[in-house]
């Protein structure tokens, strides 16, 4: 019956366990950025216009914006009557892109608006 721990071995084991627990206490739980569902009231995405953040149905569109805008026709295009692309991002907030914006064709809109005034009314702003 040599499978029992000696007092010194159990102390070392408990010490290592305590150290591991304490080092993990300060860390936040990591959540995957792409493909995760957003909780209501949060904004998601990243700071670049051609980012891999939330887009389409995964982004959290504010209810007032959903009333004023329309859904994109596909991953990177909006309907002809709503060419202003609205993007929900974590770092920059809700921003809109117009045709003159760099990389406009690469932006994956979460919602589309008929003009910039409508986008601003919905809580979106021009990128800086």
Could you tell me the strand order of the sheet in which 93-97 lies?
93-97, 84-89, 111-113
77, exposed or middle or buried, with CB in 10 Å at 0-12, 13-18, 19+?
middle
In this predicted structure, what is the pLDDT of residue 13? Answer: 76
Question: What whole-number distance in Å separates Cα of residue 115 and Cα of residue 103?
Answer: 18
In this predicted structure, what is the pLDDT of residue 31? Answer: 47
Reading phi first (left if > 0) and then psi (alpha if -120 to 50, else beta), residue 119 is in alpha
Question: What whole-number distance in Å separates Cα of residue 3 and Cα of residue 63?
Answer: 62
In this predicted structure, what is the pLDDT of residue 85? Answer: 95
Mean pLDDT across the chain, nearest whole number? 76
Please, which residues bridge with residue 96 across strands? 86
In this predicted structure, what is the pLDDT of residue 26? Answer: 60
In this predicted structure, what is the pLDDT of residue 60? Answer: 82
Q: Over the stretch 31-71, which tens digit does the pLDDT of each residue have?
A: 444 444 444 444 444 444 444 344 444 568 888 888 999 99
């Amino acid at each position: 019956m040599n499978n029992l721990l000696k007092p010194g071995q159990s102390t070392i084991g408990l010490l290592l366990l305590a150290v591991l627990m304490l080092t993990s206490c300060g860390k936040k739980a990591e959540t995957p950025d792409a493909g995760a569902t957003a909780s209501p009231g949060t904004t998601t995405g990243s700071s670049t216009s051609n980012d891999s953040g939330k887009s389409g149905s995964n982004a959290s569109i504010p209810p007032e914006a959903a009333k004023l805008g329309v859904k994109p026709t596909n991953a990177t295009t909006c309907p002809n009557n709503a060419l202003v692309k609205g993007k929900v991002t974590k770092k920059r907030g809700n921003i809109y892109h117009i045709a003159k914006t760099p990389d406009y064709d690469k932006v994956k809109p979460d919602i589309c608006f008929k003009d910039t005034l409508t986008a601003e009314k919905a809580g979106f702003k021009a990128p800086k």
